[in-house]
Structure 1
Amino acid sequence: MASRFSNVDPVTAADMRRQGLDPQELDRSTEQLMSLIHRNLPDPPVSTTARLTAFRARPSDGVDRISRLSDALLRDIVSRLPVKDAARTAALAARWRGVWRSTPLVLVDTHLVSSARGSTPDVIAAVSRVLAAHQGPFRCVHLTCSRMGSYQAQLKRWLRLLAARGVQELVLVNRPWLREVPLPKTLFTISTLTRLYIGVWKFPDAAGLQGASFPHLRELGICSVAMKDGDIDAIVARSPALEILNVQGSMKGVHLRLVSQSLRCVQICSFVMESVNVVNAPRLERLILSECLNPAGGSRIRVKIGNVPKLRVFGFLEPGKYVLEVQDTVIMAGIKTSASMMVTSVNVLSMKARFRVYEDVKMVPAFLKCFPNVEALHITSEKCDQLATKFDLNFWEEVGPIVSVLLRLKVITFREFRARQDELAFLQYILQNAMVLKYAVVQMVNPRFTSLSVEEMAFIIDNMQPPQNKRWASTVGLLTMGTHGPEGGEPWTFRKGADLSDDDPITPVKIIIRVAGPATRQHKPRAAKRRN
């Protein structure tokens, strides 16, 4: 009996077997990719699992008060229902048929079939019926569970209808295979969009998009889309209201050049990058680079910071992966920092470092000196199988004063901590020199990946300085905690960084304040097992 695949078509599977390859492995890796993409998609505004509540008591006068509601209020009620339930209201009365036809609907294709992996022909037919029956407008449309390679004519027709009916939010994700299905240019005629997420497509030739624009687009997500240099830049340039740009997954290195008067948040995750050049973004508040992949050949990714006067949150810098350039100066170990090399607006900084690797560790202070006003520092210790270099407190004392550590740092979190000497030396340096530090969290690596328990690592931290030198012990709320999460921590998700109401989307500071608040300083570290 032939194996069934979730993401690989029979022709591709047969071709792989002839080449001696395992289609099951491709299917599993593709499923992991799709899972990551779906984790980063915005939730639709309606759900089929929501519980409905209503007053059971009936008025004694027998008056039908629902019929007395205005059409505008009835449309608002219907717009909050999944599309199947919304359509069923048309059977209540002639008036309700008019309400259904004029309600701004939410269309989610997974709500139309019995399973999120319903067969593509069934999904195509169901979506086509809804679009034919409803004259719009459509408030939100999520199309995420079809393999569109053989249905491009239907997709183009859908996009024309959605453009004519003023769709505001659109999530359009193809199911592989075929993987690189061309994204119809019709998409770029939908001028009413305020939020757009596209996934698993081949981007159209940017030269053919002349005149296309998204005048109202505020949030854009691009997930595993085959693109060329300049494609993302072109969309940003055509989106004058764009505030949030999220990019995930690409197998070909891209040079990204950002010029925008509106962008406030840029997140790039699991993306093969040649370079990121933030040329001019006067409103940019946060730049998140998470798990970006080095291009072919292993060269480091160049990150250039230009005009970003409001940049507050910057992560996750990795000394072994990125070359940091501020204005026109490449930051190198031991460089004498001048005012032109500093980004004074950043007060939340996150870094990942291999503390066993000398080339990485010597860049940590060089990076820190570029951000003199950092108040919250988040460090993740990267797994490294190299032989440990003997870093001790003397190494850190010799790097010279770091203004942010001495005078600004209030919060530090240290994740994936293994209690090695190189990690302890850095933590000891921070605790001993940060004069205004209020809170520190040390999150141990999952015990499955180390020989030490959380309690043993907490004991090591508590005894890493002689008693006469524990100035920090009475002034810092210090919490040690464990995790049951995967090695390296949970993957970053777009929704964390896109919440602009959260001043620091990276820190578990709420845990610190609750457990070791300023009124109850801890004199000894407290071990607590918590999940990520």
Structure 2
Amino acid sequence: MRRQGLDPHELDRSTEQLMSLIHENLPDPPVSTTARFVALRALSSDGVDRFSGLSDALLRNIVSRLPVKDAARTAVLAARWSGVWRSTPLVLIDTQLISNGRTPARASTPDVTAAVSRILATHPGPFRCVHLTCNRMGAYQGQLRRWIRLLAARGVQDLVLVNRPWLREVPLPKTLFTISTLTRLYIGVWKFPDAGGLQGASFPHLRELGICSVAVEDGDIDAFVARSPALEILNIQGRMKGVRLRLVSHSLRCVQICSFVMESIEVVNAPCLDRLILSECLGPAGGSCTRVRIGNAPKLRIFGCLDPGKYVLEIRDTVITAGIKISPSMMITTVKVLSLRVRFGVYDDVKMVPAFLRFFPNVEALHMTSEKCDHLAGTFDLKFWEEVGPIVSVLLRLKVITFREYHARQDEIAFLQYIFQNARVLKDVMIQMINPRFTSLSADEMTNTINNMPNEKWVSEFDLAICRSIGPEGLSPWTFERGANLCDDDPIAPVKFITLRVSVVLQYVQFYI
């Protein structure tokens, strides 16, 4: 890199940014080193050892909740405790093996690798949860293959396997696909084996799959999903240039794809799919858009975050274009939550918003984000929106709208005014102003543009909350944890929105968060 006039440290910084993004999306381990322990006397006042009276099952439950180093140390308490440790399902989180307060990025890979090898070899199993995220496996592929064999033999259920990258891709051992006991699997920064590596593989219990910055070919992810009949949650992160994803699954309920480059995403047949969340599409090379096609998804309820500048949306066999004539058979009536990211200063983006809203006539919650726009192509006033005409979802269904990254531009104000003048059942509105660091306007100036909106034509009474962002321009990256919570009816809604709701009728309340 130096010979080419490049800075090697820039590669280090890029690598750490990549790893930070991946780690933010990994599932939380079931044990933590930050928990507060309280020491209690093992002997009561009458001299009876209460711990000895506990059943082995209860002791195993206690030990399984300890970090692996603390759990192993219980074996020296007594002969009985040694048996408890060996019979407790193993929970191994390699970040908890790092000493001296070091971060995973600065951990000694040989030391962590040796410790992991010792623990996996000496514990008889079963393995309940194993998270391995600290190692640069390009230099330890022999150990990696042994680990995979041990994990398969001990029936691991929850596995997170993330490589710390060198300059070259490290292939995943094909033996990974012999682990039929998995219920959750996250893999990061690997090269996927060729499709032949999945021959005969089956994951009958796999419920959640995460694929982060993994080099894959067309059909690799499709084949993995097809061999996972219980899979409910599929999370994908990272660049996958030229990949066409085709989803066929009778069990999938949640699909999240973020920070990605793909040629196309096609939901061919997913009868149980409840939510499809696409975030931070980087767009294929050459400035083309990612094609998103919705085929058979009769339960799709949450859809976002659609960006008309980056996606071409196709519903069944119809490509959505501005001004297209829509028949009832072309609509998706099940979607209740819709998220759009729009550059309000770009005509080609803005004219697609009415088309999207017409294809989803039963939207009750609309989450808008005003995307950064360096070169305004025009100003879209209220007359533009009045010429759009009536939209069923706005008139009769829309109850909640959030508008994030509000810049107080005329085109944004016109859109909001159109909503307020037409949404007959609107109940809750949240407008989040952009962080003042990224605009020439003050918070008071942005607020005044809302306060000065003429309200004599508004057709409903609604609660309005105004808040100010203190985060980065363009908002923080999406995290899988939000969408994977299947109990959350609207994971796209701003986290603070629930606490911002106030009982105000056509009045304005400001919240600064």
With the length of structure 1 as denominator, give the TM-score of the two structures. Answer: 0.94
Q: Is 1:76–2:64 an aligned residue pair?
A: no
Secondary structure in 1 aligned to 2:32? coil
Q: 2:451 aligns with which of 462, 482, 492?
A: 462
Partner residue, 2:163: 174
* Displacement after TM superposition at 1:506 (Å): 1.1
Shift of 1:513: 5.2
Residue 512 of structure 1 and its aligned partner are, at CA, apart by: 4.7
Instruction: Provide the C-alpha distance between the structure 2 equivalents of 1:379 and 1:242, rounded to a whole number of angstroms.
Output: 30
* Residues 256, 277 of structure 2: 8 Å contact kept: yes
1:368 pairs with 2:357: yes
| CA distance in structure 2 between the partners assigned to 1:25 and 1:462 by the alignment | 46
Q: Distance in 2 between matches of 1:447 and 1:197?
A: 38
Preserved CA contact (<8 Å) 2:500 2:511 = no
Match of 2:490 in 1: 504
Count of matched residue positions in the alignment of Structure 1 and Structure 2 = 509
Q: In structure 1, the residue corresponding to 2:44 is in which secondary structure?
A: coil
Q: Deviations for 1:133-179, whole angstroms, at most 9, x for unmatched residues?
A: 11001110000011000111110101100101011000000001144
Which deviations, in whole Å up to 9, do the C-alpha atoms of 1:295-338 show, x marking residues without a partner? 11111111000111111110000111111100101111000111
Deviations 1:324-369 (A, max 9, x none): 1001011110001112221111000000011001011001100110
Partners of 1:21 and 1:151 in 2: CA distance: 28
Q: Deviations over 1:173-210 (max 9, x none)?
A: 00011441001011101100000000000000112321
CA–CA distance in 2 between the matches of 1:511 and 1:292? 25
Q: Check if 1:25 corresponds to 2:1.
A: no
Q: Which residue of 1 is the match for residue 141 of structure 2?
A: 152
Within the candidate set 246, 257, 280, 2:235 is matched to 246
State the secondary structure of the residue aligned to 1:129: helix
Q: Judge conservation of contact 1:279–1:307 (CA < 8 Å) in 2.
A: yes
Q: Which residue of 1 aligns with 2:258?
A: 269
**2:109 alignment partner AA:** T
Give the Cα separation in 1 of the matches to 2:42 and 2:200. Answer: 58
What amino acid maps onto 1:101 in structure 2?
R
Pair 1:480 & 2:469 matched: no
Following superposition, the deviation at residue 251 of structure 1 comes to 4.7
For the residues of structure 2 that align with 1:491 and 1:240, how far apart are their CA atoms? Answer: 30
TM-score (norm. length: structure 2)? 0.97
Q: Check the 8 A contact 1:454/1:481 in 2, yes or no.
A: no
Cα shift at 1:107:
0.2
Q: Deviations over 1:43-86 (max 9, x none)?
A: 11001111113545952211111111111111111111111011
> Do the aligned residues in 1 keep the contact of 2:247 with 2:267 (CA within 8 Å)?
yes
- Following TM superposition, by how much is the alpha carbon of 1:381 offset from its aligned partner in structure 2, in angstroms? 0.4
Give the Cα–Cα distance (whole angstroms) in 2 for the partners of residues 471 and 162 of structure 1.
Answer: 62
Q: Tell me by how many angstroms 1:35 deviates.
A: 0.3
Cα distance in 1 for partners of 2:40, 2:79 equals 25
Q: Is the 8 A contact 1:327 1:340 kept in 2?
A: no
**2:38 partner letter:** T
Q: CA RMSD in A?
A: 1.3
Identity %: 75
Counterpart of 2:508, as a letter, is P
Contact 2:294–2:316 (8 Å) recurs in 1: yes
Question: Secondary structure in 1 aligned to 2:268?
Answer: strand
Distance (whole Å) between structure 1 residues aligned to residue 108 and residue 392 of structure 2: 59
Q: Is the 8 A contact 1:269 1:289 kept in 2?
A: yes
Equivalent-residue separation in structure 2 for 1:49 and 1:486 (angstroms): 28
Q: Partner residue of 1:7? A: none
- Deviation of 1:525 after TM superposition, in Å, equals 2.0
Tell me which residue corresponds to 1:493.
Answer: 479
Aligned to 2:278: 289
- Specify every segment of 5 or more residues in structure 2 that has no aligned partner in the other structure, as ranges: none
Please state how far the C-alpha of 1:522 moved relative to its aligned partner. 4.0
Partner of 1:90: 75
Residue 471 of structure 1 deviates from its aligned partner by: 4.6
Write the distance in 1 (CA, Å) between the matches of 2:240 and 2:475: 23
Identify the residue that residue 115 of structure 2 maps to in structure 1: 126
Q: Distance in 1 between matches of 2:192 and 2:232?
A: 21
- Secondary structure of 1:302's counterpart equals strand
Residue aligned with 2:276, SS: strand
Distance 1:482 1:30 in 2: 32
Residue identity in the other structure for 2:474: G
- Quote the offset at 1:23 in angstroms: 1.0
Residue 384 (str. 1) matches residue 369 (str. 2): no
Shift of 1:119: 1.2
Q: Is the 8 A contact 1:477 1:512 kept in 2?
A: no
Deviation at 1:449, TM superposition (A): 0.6
Verify the 8 A CA contact 2:42 2:49 in the aligned structure 1: no
Distance 2:501 2:224 in 1: 46
CA distance in 2, matches of 1:96, 1:154: 30
Matched letter for residue 468 of structure 1: E
Tell me how far apart the structure 2 counterparts of residues 56 and 393 of structure 1 sit (CA, whole Å): 73
1:318-357 aligned at under 5 Å gives the runs 318-357=307-346
Question: SS at the partner of 2:134?
Answer: strand
Contact 2:198 2:223 (C-alpha < 8 Å) held by counterparts: no
The residue that corresponds to 1:521 in the other structure is 504
Distance in 1 between the 2:509 and 2:360 partners?
Answer: 31
Single out whichever of 259-268 and 48-57 deviates more from structure 2.
Answer: 48-57
